[in-house]
Amino acid sequence: MFSLLIITLITISISWNGKNFIIVNYFSNSSSPVYDFKTNIPLILSLICCSCVILFIIFKFTKEVSKKSVMNNFDLILGSTIFIIGLGLTKILLLLIDPALDTGSAQGRLYFYYFPLFSSSLCAILYGVLMNRASSLIFLTILSLCQTIMYGGELMIFMICMFSSATGVIASNNARRRTHLIRSGLQIGVVQSLFILCHGLLMGIASKFLAIQPLTGIINGSLGAFFAAGVLPILEYLFKVSTDIRLLELSDLNHPLLKKLVMEAPGTYHHSLIVGNLAEAAAEVVGAKPLLARVGAYFHDIGKIKKPEYFSENQWRAKSRHDDLIPSMSSLIIISHVKDGVDLAKKYGLNKDIVDIIEQHHGTSLVYFFYKRALIIHGDEQSKPKEEEYRYPGPAPQSKEAAIILLADAVEAASRSLDNPTPSRIKNLVDEIINSRFLDSQLDNCELTILDLANIKECFTFILTGIFHTRPKYPKDPQNTKQKEKNNGNSDKQSTEQIQNSPAKN
C-alpha cells in the first residue's frame, strides 16, 4: 500500500505556472489548478488504476525472472524510494531551466535541455548497486517513460534515458569499490553523449554547437556517479542492503570482531578462513554471491568468542572441558554459540544478510557427538534423550550462500579428523557430509539444485585435496650430516674437559 501511494503521488506531476500550483495531465497535455477537484478527482482515480497495473507488472516480472514468489517488501520500498528521487530531481531541474528553454535560444537548448537527465544517471547507478538487474530494469523503464512524458513525449528522450540507464545498471551491478562508480558514470555519459549527438544531427543543430552539446551527457554521468557515492551509504544503512562495496569493507581482517576472534579463539579464526575459501569457490560455481559467502564465513562462528575453550579447534590440552559435563549441558554450550553470534553481529552493526548466515549456518542439524554419548549413558527406552533437545534451533538455510557455508563448515571440520587424508578419502568424506545434510532436510529451503550439489562436492574435494597435500621427504646432504656429527663430537669432548678441569664444590 505504501508503494502504491508513492507511485501514485509521483505520477501526479505538480507544477508552477508563475502564479499558482497546478496539476499537469501530460497524457492530455492539459493542466488545472490544485483546488479544481472536479477535474482532478477523475485524474487521481485513473492514476491509481495505472499504479495498480504497474505494481502487478513489477511483481509478475520479478517472479518470472528472479524465480522468487514475490519481490521482497524492502526491495519494493527501496526501488520506489529511488524512483521518487529520480522523478523528483527531474521535475525540479525542469522547473529551474524552464525560463532558459522558454527563450527559445540555441544557447539555452545547448546548455540546459538535457541537464535534467542527470537524475537518470544517478538512479541507474543506485539501482545497479542496490538491486538485481531484473528489478532495476523494470523501475528504470517506468522512470524513463515518465521522464519522456515530462519532456513532451520526445522519443529520443526515452532512448537516451533507457539505453544509458541499462548501461549504468550493467556497469555498476558488480561494483566493489567507490571508484567503480566513477567508471560506471563515465560509461553512462558516453552513451548519453552519443544519443545527444544523434539527436542534434536529426534536429539540425548548428555544427558549432554539435561539438559542445554531447558534453552534457558526460557531465550528467559524472554528476550521477558523484551523487550516487554520497547517497549510497545512506540507502545501505536505511534498507540494510549488503552491497559488494559494503561487503568488501567487512572482509577487512582488521575488523574489531575478527581481531577479537583471532586473539581469543585462534583455532576458530583459522577454521573460518578456510571455510571462507571453500564457500567463495563454491558460490562462484553455482552462481551465488561469492563475496557474501566469503564474508559470511568469516563471521559465521563469532559466537564462539564467549566460550572458546569448549570448542575442539581451540583446545590444546589432552583433557576436554566436556569430559566433566553431562551430554545435555555440553550440547547447550555448543548450540548457544549461534545465538551468541547473532547478538554480537547485531551489536557490531553487521548487515542483515550476515546475521541471517550466522543464524542459519547449522540449520536444525543434530549435535550428533553428544547425542550419541547421551544414548550410551541413557540406554533404556524410558530415559532415552529426545533428539529435538540436541538439535540447533535453526532455521534451515534460506539462501544459497547460507547453505554453502553450512556445507563448507561441516566438511572442513570433519576433514580434520582424517588420519590419512588421501584424495579418495577426502572425496568420500565430502560426499558423505553433503548427502547426510541433504537427507536431513537442511537444504530444503534454499535454491540449490542436485547439479549444484554435485558441483559443490567437486569444488570442495579439489580445494581440500590441495590443503592436505603431501610433500616428499627431502634427502639429507651427506656433507652437512658429517659436519654436524663432527661438531657434536667436538662439543661433547669440550664439555668433558670443562667438567674435569672445573674446581670441586664443597
- Boundary residue ending a domain (187, 215, 241): 241
Q: What percent of the chain has pLDDT over 90?
A: 45
Q: Are residues 461 and 315 in the same domain?
A: yes
Domain of 139 in residue numbering reads as 2-241
- Gap between the Cα atoms of 325 and 320, Å rounded: 10
Q: Could you tell me the CATH number of the domain that includes residue 383?
A: 1.10.3210.10
Of 383, 386, 408, 398, the closest CA to residue 459 belongs to 408
| 473 falls within a domain | no
Q: Are residues 227 and 257 in the same domain?
A: no
* Mean pLDDT estimate for the chain: 82
Region 441-468 average pLDDT: 94
Give the per-residue pLDDT at 54: 60
3-state secondary structure of 433: helix
- Gap between the Cα atoms of 70 and 68, Å rounded: 6
Q: Are residues 291 and 436 in the same domain?
A: yes
| 154 falls within a domain | yes
Q: Are residues 208 and 296 in the same domain?
A: no
Residue 371: pLDDT over 80: yes
| 359 falls within a domain | yes
Give the per-residue pLDDT at 503: 45
Region 15-30 average pLDDT: 59
46-61 pLDDT tens trace: 666 666 666 666 566 5
- Boundary residue ending a domain (241, 262, 291): 241
Residue 472: pLDDT over 90: no
Q: Are residues 232 and 257 in the same domain?
A: no
Residue 235: pLDDT over 60: yes
Give the per-residue pLDDT at 504: 43
| 503 falls within a domain | no
| 479 falls within a domain | no
Residue 161: pLDDT over 60: yes
306-358 pLDDT tens trace: 999 999 898 876 678 888 899 999 999 999 999 999 999 999 989 999 999 99
Give the per-residue pLDDT at 412: 95
Please give the model's pTM, rounded to 2 decimal places: 0.79
- Boundary residue ending a domain (221, 241, 261): 241
Polymer length in residues for the chain: 506
Region 235-239 average pLDDT: 87
Q: Are residues 152 and 125 in the same domain?
A: yes
Q: Are residues 176 and 286 in the same domain?
A: no
Q: Are residues 257 and 191 in the same domain?
A: no
272-311 pLDDT tens trace: 999 999 999 999 999 999 999 999 999 999 999 999 999 9
Q: What angle do CA 170, 173, 175 make, to 5 degrees?
A: 120
Q: Are residues 270 and 374 in the same domain?
A: yes
Q: Are residues 198 and 139 in the same domain?
A: yes
Q: Of 197-211, 254-268, 282-296, which range is least confident?
A: 197-211
Residues 6+ positions from 425 with CB-CB distance below 8 Å: 418
3-state secondary structure of 101: helix
Give the per-residue pLDDT at 135: 82
Locate 217 and state its grid cell.
Answer: 551527457
Residue with the bigger pLDDT between 357 and 66: it is 357
DSSP codes joined into one string, 200-258: HHHHT--HHHHTTTTHHHHHHHHHHHHHHHHHHHHHHHHHT---HHHHHHHT-TTSHHH
Give the per-residue pLDDT at 398: 93
Partners of residue 391 on adjacent β-strands: 366
Domain count, the chain: 2
Residue 45: pLDDT over 60: yes
Residue with the bigger pLDDT between 299 and 490: it is 299
Q: Are residues 102 and 223 in the same domain?
A: yes
Region 164-179 average pLDDT: 88
| 332 falls within a domain | yes
Residue with the bigger pLDDT between 76 and 348: it is 348
Q: Are residues 155 and 269 in the same domain?
A: no
| 487 falls within a domain | no
| 476 falls within a domain | no
